[in-house]
Amino acid sequence: MLLPSLSTPALVVDADAFDHNVRTMAEALPGPRCRPHVKAFKSTGLARRLATAGHRTFCAATPREIVGMARAGLGEDLLLANETLDAGRLAAMAALDARVTVAVDSDETVDAAVRAGIRAVLIDVNVGLARCGCVPADAGRLAERARRAGVEVRGVMGYEGHLMGKPDRAERAAGLEPAMAALLDAHGRVGGDVISGGGTGTFDLNHWVTEIQAGSYTLMDTAYAKAGLPFREALAVAATVIARGRSGDRSYVVADCGLKALGMDHGLPDVELADGSRASVWFCSDEHITFSLPRDADPAVLPELGSPVAVRPAHVDPTVALHERFVVVRDGVAVDEWAVDLRGW
């Protein structure tokens, strides 16, 4: 990745790779067949590019993402694909000049939505991930509870998050069948037009749903890069080499991209060297990454003080949440900037 001269660390989007990713998804799942998940990128600027590509329905994980999207004029059809009992935040979403649907999975979440004036819900169904979602057998009862209170029940959602991280495509496919059987069972009890599910890892495997919730495909990360998907790594954290040293017989390099600039839950990031190869990453501390060349590498590739390096995060979502903006780069030149304006809750 060709990096421009920037104050670092900085989130950098490779415009060519990003365009490729957006085009690939828009061709595979045009318009409302893909409901982009803004939690992956937290940016109305980026979301606007997806709307231009035909996706004008979005989902989100936090009320603040919903409110920010609506205020940016992207509120045609917003789904909070997550539960909340926060009366104030539910009321703020209900008051938006936007079509807002929220996920519910219990008496308490239905009642909280009703009390706040939320007008539409999806019944969230547990399809195998030990997280939110009711059991399928309870979905009809919850739908009925919401409808009796005058709330539109648009259908069901179920997130097969327990499959998303499996690098083997066949394993993801095999796991989908029982997961989606549970979701369709629930849909039979609930009704409605919407069967929402999926993610980047199953976007072309999940043929049961009416719409796929995917966000990571736009930027990708080193974890998803191992999953055999047709999307390219478009995101890097640009860093600057600020020190070099020796430990025993090894030379190492230190750049200014630490764990406060990286989501670390998926492990260490990759460092891309000037020749496109990957360095051996030793560790990250708060503001630094220490790496060396692989033992068989040409020592001339060891970056000099002041030179830029591209750090490839292991997990896109929490990485983005630590930054204020994306710098969009084409041919080594910054051509645009998108604020990360949907952070927080």
Closest CA to 147 of 106, 126, 119: 119
- Least Å distance, CB 322 to a second copy, is 6
Instruction: Please list every residue from 168 through 227 that binds a second copy, using CB under 8 A.
Output: none
CB of 324: closest distance to a second copy in angstroms? 6
User: Which residues in 254-283 contact a second copy (CB under 8 A)?
Assistant: 254, 256, 259-261, 263-265, 282-283
**Options 79, 186, 290, 327; binder of a second copy; rule CB under 8 A:** 290
- ∠ CA 50-71-92, nearest 5°, is 125
What is the closest distance, in whole angstroms, from the C-beta atom of residue 132 to a second copy in the complex?
4
Task: Choose which of 126, 196, 202, 222 interacts with a second copy (CB under 8 A).
Answer: 126
What is the per-residue burial (b if ≥16 Cβ within 10 Å, else e) of 1-29?
A: bebbebebbbbbbbbebbbebbebbbeeb
- Which range binds a second copy by CB under 8 A, 49-57, 78-86, 220-228, 328-336? 78-86
Q: Which of 30, 228, 294, 344 binds a second copy (CB under 8 A)?
A: 344
Least CB distance to a second copy at residue 27 (A): 27
CB of 240 to a second copy, least distance (A): 6
Residues 6+ apart with CB under 8 A from 297: 273, 277
- Which pair of structure tokens corresponds to residue 277? 């190869």
For residues 123 and 131, is the Cβ–Cβ distance under 8 A? no
**Helices 63-71 & 44-52 angle (0-180, nearest 10):** 60
Per the structure block, which two tokens stand in for 45?
Answer: 């600027």
Residue 88 binds a second copy, judged by CB under 8 A = yes
Is 78 a residue that touches a second copy (CB under 8 A)? Answer: no
> Using an 8 Å Cβ cutoff, are 124 and 134 in contact?
yes
Task: Name the amino acid, one letter, at 182.
Answer: A
- Interface stretch with a second copy, choices 12-20, 149-157, 222-230, 238-246 (CB under 8 A): 238-246
Work out which of 43, 82, 200, 206 binds a second copy, going by CB under 8 A.
82
Among 173, 242, 297, 339, binds a second copy (CB under 8 A): 242
CA atoms within 13 A on the CB side of 343: 11
Closest CA to 315 of 219, 178, 184, 207: 219
**Which residue type does 183 have?**
L
Residues binding a second copy (CB under 8 A):
7-9, 39, 61-62, 82-86, 88-89, 105-106, 108-109, 126, 130-133, 135, 161, 240, 242-245, 247, 252, 254, 256, 259-261, 263-265, 282-288, 290, 305-306, 317-318, 321-324, 344-345
